[in-house]
Chains A and B, each alone.
Chain A
Amino acid sequence: MQELAYERPTTIAKAVALMARDGARALAGGSDLIPQLREGRRSASVIVDLKHIPALNDFRREPDGTWRIGAALSVAKLGAHAEFAREHAALLASARMIGSLQIQARATLAGNLCNAAPSADAVPLLIALEAIVEIISADGVLSRAGVESIATGPGQTSLVPGDLVTTVLLPPPEPRSAACYLRFTPRREMDIAIAGSGVVLRLDDKGVIANAKIFLASVAPKPMRASTAQSLLIGQKPSAALFTAAGAAAAAECRPISDTRGSADYRRELVAVLTRRALADCARQLGVMLP
């Protein structure tokens, strides 16, 4: 492991200046980054610790209802806000699948996103709930990007050197919508998803599915949208048969690999079951009795 300079800026401006240095890497919780550095899976020469920048510990609502979640805010702190926990129970539950309490005391939503693991548990619902990130480039320009555009492959992102993700912006849930993320792991806790399915379902006034978003974990190089399954659902009335068909469509369109944690065939089976169950859970939350 190469020499490492640890830096602790207290303002965004100082962090941006540090991020412009060669080999700089932002440190939020560090639960992925630190073992990756020590095992030689990532390299860095300057570590920019974001946790002492007050703005990056923000956790509040904007006037339009959007939640502003600083890039350094831990999953543990995310759970401490009762109003957020009520409004985004499913997203919070998915974030609480990340590692143990020790990990959640450090790990952040922004870190889960920027680490770009295909199995990242919080990311499918972040995308499905249309979260946006704020990014400040090395020359100080602020931009916004949809969460879906960040991961490009295992461990790879669309961020360029010097980019600093400062904030996750999460809009309030739409009326008559529900969210659910389910994953399968051999162990109940402390495990990595063999497959996961995150669903957001929205009904119109007549009880017809107005919108459906399905994002799958661990079955493609990055969190993957199940487009065919989504289009199958939109415009239909929820039913057990429809959800089974959507699960089968998601299984058919996902692109899993076989590895030590599961075969591609097994992952497809899991996607079918998890997607069907996540859809049924959304329907249950919305008070729909499935025919």
Chain B
Amino acid sequence: MKSVITCEINGEPRDALADGRDTLLELLRDRLGLTGTKEGCGNGNCGACTVLMNGEPVCACLVLAGEAHGAKITTIEGIARGNTLHPVQSALIAHGGTQCGFCTPGIVLSAVALLDRNPHPSPHEIRHAIAGNLCRCTGYDKIVEAIAAVAHGTNIDVKPAP
């Protein structure tokens, strides 16, 4: 059974026809062509599909497309301003916080959500905020360094307590 989903994606009103079984992830990738949001596990463990729904980070694979009707969604495509990267994106590049890149869109959204509600997080708070975003390449330290550099305007020691 298909129905029309109307929501605001990256600040623009969008309509899309979705099946009742579709997830928000399928709505974004397959119906709207916004393929920056990645599918990793498809069951909420990896966080690769993290988007903001009404400002909160959610796994798009755990939201039905119907639930997004009337919601404000931010995807990785809505993070840069034209050709100007978001500071989190620039910092990830500068710190080598991305390797294969598959987890990066989700990491960026989790980091942006963190900094929106807590502009100066501690290294522990940064690690907690991205705990739902698995990265199999970097070992996380460079990602945490990048987010900390945005938050504090400088490079700080982010090593976890032993």
Contacts of B69 in A (CB 8 A): 8
| Structural contact, B62 and A31, CB atoms closer than 8 A | yes
How many A-B pairs have beta carbons closer than 8 Å: the answer is 95
Q: Are A8 and B66 in contact (CB under 8 A)?
A: yes
How far, in Å, is A42 (CB) from chain B's closest CB? Answer: 13
What count of chain B residues pass the 8 Å CB interface test?
Answer: 33
Measured CB to CB, the nearest residue on chain B to A96 is B128
The minimal Cβ–Cβ distance linking A79 to chain B, given in whole angstroms, is 12
Cβ of B87 under 8 Å from chain A = no
Which residues in A have some Cβ–Cβ distance to B below 8 Å? 1, 3-6, 8, 27, 29-31, 34-35, 37-39, 47, 49, 51, 76, 99-103, 105-106, 188-190
Cβ contacts A to B, 20 pairs, < 8 Å: A1-B21, A4-B20, A4-B21, A6-B67, A31-B59, A31-B62, A35-B44, A38-B23, A38-B43, A99-B44, A100-B131, A101-B110, A101-B128, A102-B44, A102-B59, A103-B59, A103-B132, A105-B53, A106-B63, A190-B134
Is B129 a contact partner of A49 (Cβ separation < 8 A)? no
Q: Which residues of B contact A105 (CB under 8 A)?
A: 53, 56-58
Q: Which residues of B in the span 35-64 have a Cβ within 8 Å of any Cβ on A?
A: 42-45, 47, 50, 53, 56-59, 61-64
Chain A residue at minimal CB-CB distance from B43: A35
Query: A5 to chain B: which residues have CB within 8 Å?
Result: 1, 20
B residues lining the A interface (CB < 8 Å): 1, 3, 19-21, 23, 42-45, 47, 50, 53, 56-59, 61-67, 69, 110, 113, 128-129, 131-134
Q: Give the shortest distance, in Å, between B22 (CB) and chain A (any CB).
A: 9
Residues of B within 8 A of A100 (CB): 44, 47, 131-133
Residue of B nearest to A39 (CB): B43
Nearest chain B CB to A53 CB, angstrom units: 14
> Which residues of the other chain, A, contact B133 by a CB distance below 8 angstroms?
100
> Across the two chains, which residue of chain A brings its CB closest to B160?
A188
Query: Contacts A3-B21, A4-B20 hold; do A102 and B66 have CB atoms under 8 A apart?
Result: no
Q: What's the minimum C-beta distance from A156 to chain B, rounded to whole angstroms? A: 21
Task: Contacts A5-B1, A38-B42 given; indicate if A101 touches B132 (C-beta within 8 A).
Answer: yes
